[in-house]
Structure 1
Amino acid sequence: MSTGRTRWRRLPPWAVDAGLVALAALDAWINLFGDATPLMWTCAAVGSAGLSLRRRFPLAVFLLTLPMTLFMDVAVAPIAALYTLAASTRNRPLLAGCALLNAAAETLAWPLSDTLTGDRTWTLVQFVYTLATAVAPVLFGQLVQARRDVARQLVEVEEAREHERVLYAQTVLARERAQLAREMHDVVSHQVSLIAVQAGALQVAAKDPDAREAARTIRTLSANTLDELRHMVTLLRASGGKATELTPQPTLADLQQLIATSGIETTLTGELPPGISTTAQRTVYRTVQEALTNVRKHAPGARADVHLWHDAHDFGVTVTNTAPTRTTVALPSARHGLIGLKERAELLQGTLTAGPTPQGGYTVELRAPTRPA
């Protein structure tokens, strides 16, 4: 079963369309064999050949198949056109109208006087039967469309979960670095400071010139070591990326590129205060990145608004999305992304809030002080 399905998918689209055109032409020829007028042959040719354009103009191709159904009892062309239309549009009233129109065209005979003077009960029965036949490709096309949507959402969810795992790993690493920085500051720096103080006292109290020189050397080395430790502590506290990160970490300069490649209709407004730290810029970038990832994951078809702002005391970013326009699939989430963002906000002495909006959307807001205490 899977091998046959794979081989079918490997067929190029033009080959499938050519096969459908040939089948529709054969179906029409069988029904027209015998007493047929040039008008009937023309309608059959136009309706069958139109299937070659069904992917680009599904509605127009369906309308082209209607005249041939008035003259002959064909099935391939209208069913293929209805299926293509149902697989490419979400307008269900349009699909219902097309199914009714196809059933009416199949039921009526040309000229119309032959239908109107016949048995009305049989005409109604035939209409119901042809309507059920027309509904079948419509339902199948909608099913194929839903399957494509679910497959696309599963890919997006897998990408989002992978991003969550990477972000959570980076957050754990940042927490470990912060702990290491505290240990170095509180323990190692304290001990080295004591060494420097004791060496200074020995330098002043020593009588022997060699002893004073040795004490001076120890004090100088201790002071240099303290400077190096302070530099290392600053780097550890500011770092939030991987331990072996060789590529530059994203900043506000990369925000426009992130939005452009997000695959979501997004507007960017506002600005941040000049001169904010690289760590703050990276936190704003990660907040926007995670928020847009969640929009793709939980609100397909929604639009997003990214607003940068600042006032006299705080700065931040607010990401708000509208309600989803397509059906969402309920999938599990560990919420590691939001947890990591809250921890990043705490490193800036700020806060991160997230929650639904009254309009059915969702909003994520990062707020941090302009000058941390």
Structure 2
Amino acid sequence: MSTGRAQWRRRVPPWAVDAGLVVLAVLDAWINLFDEGTPLVWACVAIGSAGLFLRRRYPLTVFLLTLPMTVFMDVAVAPIAALYTLATSTRNRHLLVGCALLHAAAGTLAWPLSEAFTGDRTWTLIQFAYTLATASAPVLFGQLVQARHDVARQLKEVEEAREHERALHAQTVLARERAQLAREMHDVVSHQVSLIAVQAGALQVASKDPDAREAARTIRSLSVDTLDELRHMVTLLRASGGKETELAPQPTLADLQQLIANSGIKTTLTGELPADVSTTAQRTVYRTIQEALTNVRKHAPGARAEVRLWHDAHHFGVTVTNTAPTRPAVALPSSRQGQIGLRERAELLHGTFTAEPTPQGGYKVELRAPARSD
């Protein structure tokens, strides 16, 4: 029903509504006057009725123009329409009360004015109260319409704010997923492709069969290109990703032996972590070891590595140390995102990550985190 009324209002132009009110106001005045109107009275009727064309732009002025015709006759259309328009356009309650009182006073007065104070005072007071009650109706209804418009506008603003909030939340979730994808691509895919490139390079150098050497060269070249493309993808994803990212389930400490066996590096594993260390911490330790061994393969060929798990009363962590390389390193592209990712993982545990060269020409990385951190 309300939708039908709204469509009807949109179909009827405002000027047609105003013209209809003017006609009704003139008819109202003509019915009350019959043939007793003087030129002055009809002039007041004309001014007050025609002023309704301007009621939307000058509501207070139009209301004041209807007061003279209210004094001369008992009319309702013009002053009520003017009062309603004024009530829908202003928030000044004192002004509305004053206009209602002014309308009641004008409707109570009789023309000529000398007769207004010679009759029964009680009846005059009753008539004033009745006219004031009549004037209060369009004022209250106009204020109600204004409040309805305010509520509708506020609801629209709330809905727009919710839509904006939902869009921001979706963007945040997308950014976190991109950061997670970038981190896992670097930690998992880069690790495997780097291993392929290193092994292919070693095969290219060691093989005496020309076909095998060419195949190894091709594999190494494709691996290098793949690492380069991966670097661009990781950089692009990380540029639009968040920092704190929920990590998907990944290998834990139970997979360390397999990681070391597949690394192609002479590695010793010592120590252990507390039995109650969280799954998130286990993944972080695993990724730290994985990244450290990958860097040893890439930058320190022939080096040995030592992985030491440790814990005390307040902290736990892992230290990975490698010796100096025994042969020149194979040139491979680097995304330089590995240590950034490890520092981010350490921050998720409220810990620290350090990486520095050793006096013997090797390198050492260490993860340290509070014992009770998740």
TM-score under structure 2 length normalisation: 0.60
- Shifted more, 70-79 versus 145-154: the winner is 145-154
Rounded Cα–Cα distance in structure 2 between residues aligned with 1:194 and 1:97: 89
Alignment-derived partner of residue 283 in structure 2: none
Letter in 1 for 2:5: R
Residues 177 and 241, structure 2, Cα contact 8 Å, conserved in 1:
no
Instruction: Write the distance in 2 (CA, Å) between the matches of 1:7 and 1:208.
Output: 86
Equivalent position of 2:62 in the other structure: 61
Distance 1:128 1:195 in 2: 98
User: Is 1:190 the counterpart of 2:224 in the alignment?
Assistant: no
CA pair 110-18 structure 1, distance change in 2 beyond 3 A: same
2:231 is aligned to: 230
Gaps of 5+ in 1: 242-345, 350-373
Q: Note the 1:21-170 alignment, pairs <5 A.
A: 21-170=22-171
Shift in Å, 1:96:
1.2
**Residue type of the partner of 2:95?**
L
Q: Which moved more, 1:149-158 or 1:181-190?
A: 149-158
Q: Aligned with 1:73: secondary structure?
A: coil
8 Å Cα contact 1:71/1:109 also seen in 2: yes
Question: 1:228 Cα shift?
Answer: 0.4
Distance (Å, rounded) in 1 between the aligned partners of 2:145 and 2:219:
77
- Measured in 2, the distance between the counterparts of 1:157 and 1:40 equals 52
- Alpha-carbon deviation of 1:68? 0.7
CA distance in 2, matches of 1:240, 1:155: 32
- Alignment map for 1:319-334 (pairs within 5 Å): none
Q: Structure 1 residues 183 and 172 mapped into 2: Cα distance closer, same or farther (>3 Å)?
A: same
Shift of 1:24: 0.6
When the two chains are superposed, the root-mean-square deviation of aligned CA atoms in Å is 2.3
For residue 224 of structure 1, report the CA deviation from its aligned partner.
1.2
The amino acid across from 2:207 in the alignment is: A
Distance 1:96 1:121, change over 3 A: same
**In the aligned structure 1, how far is the partner of 2:171 from the partner of 2:154?**
25
Residues 113-170 of structure 1 show CA distances to partners (whole Å, capped at 9, x for unaligned) of: 2222222222222111111111110110111111122222333333333333333233
Give the CA deviation at 1:186.
0.5
- The residue aligned with 1:290 is none
Matches within 5 A, 1:348-359: none
Q: Per-residue deviation at 1:57?
A: 1.3
Gaps of 5+ in 2: 243-343, 348-374
Partner letter of residue 12 of structure 1?
P
Measure, in 2, the Cα distance between the counterparts of 1:79 and 1:11. 21
Shift of 1:230: 0.8
- Taking structure 1 as the reference length, the TM-score comes to 0.60
User: Residues 176 and 160 of structure 1: is their aligned pair in 2 closer, same or farther, counting only changes over 3 Å?
Assistant: same
Q: Distance in 1 between matches of 2:70 and 2:169?
A: 61
Residue of structure 1 in register with 2:221 after alignment: 220
Aligned equivalents of 1:218 and 1:41: distance in 2? 104
Question: Residues 18-43 of structure 1, C-alpha deviation per residue, up to 9 Å, x if partnerless?
Answer: 11111110111122223332111111
Task: Supply the distance in 2 between the matched residues of 1:47 and 1:69 (Cα, whole angstroms).
Answer: 9
Amino acid of the residue matched to residue 188 of structure 2?
A: V
After TM superposition, the runs of 4+ consecutive aligned structure 1 residues lying more than 4 A away are: 1-4
- In 2 relative to 1, CA 226–3 (structure 1 residues): closer, same or farther, beyond 3 Å? closer
Mapped partners of 1:236, 1:153: distance in 2: 39
Alignment partner of 2:74: what SS? coil
Alignment coverage as a number of residue pairs: 243
Residue matched to 1:358: none
Change beyond 3 A, Cα 1:140–1:181: same
Q: Secondary structure, in 3 states, of the residue corresponding to 1:202?
A: helix
Does structure 2 conserve the Cα–Cα contact (< 8 Å) formed by 1:170 and 1:240? Answer: no
Cα deviations by residue, 1:338-370 (Å, 9 ceiling, x for unpaired): xxxxxxxx9xx9xxxxxxxxxxxxxxxxxxxxx
Flag the 1:4–1:202 CA change in 2: closer, same or farther, 3 A: closer
Q: Percent identity?
A: 85
- Residue 206 (structure 2) aligns with: 205
How far off its partner does 1:6 sit? Answer: 5.0
Instruction: Write the letter of the residue equivalent to 2:138.
Output: P
Q: Deviations over 1:201-228 (max 9, x none)?
A: 2223223333333322222221111110
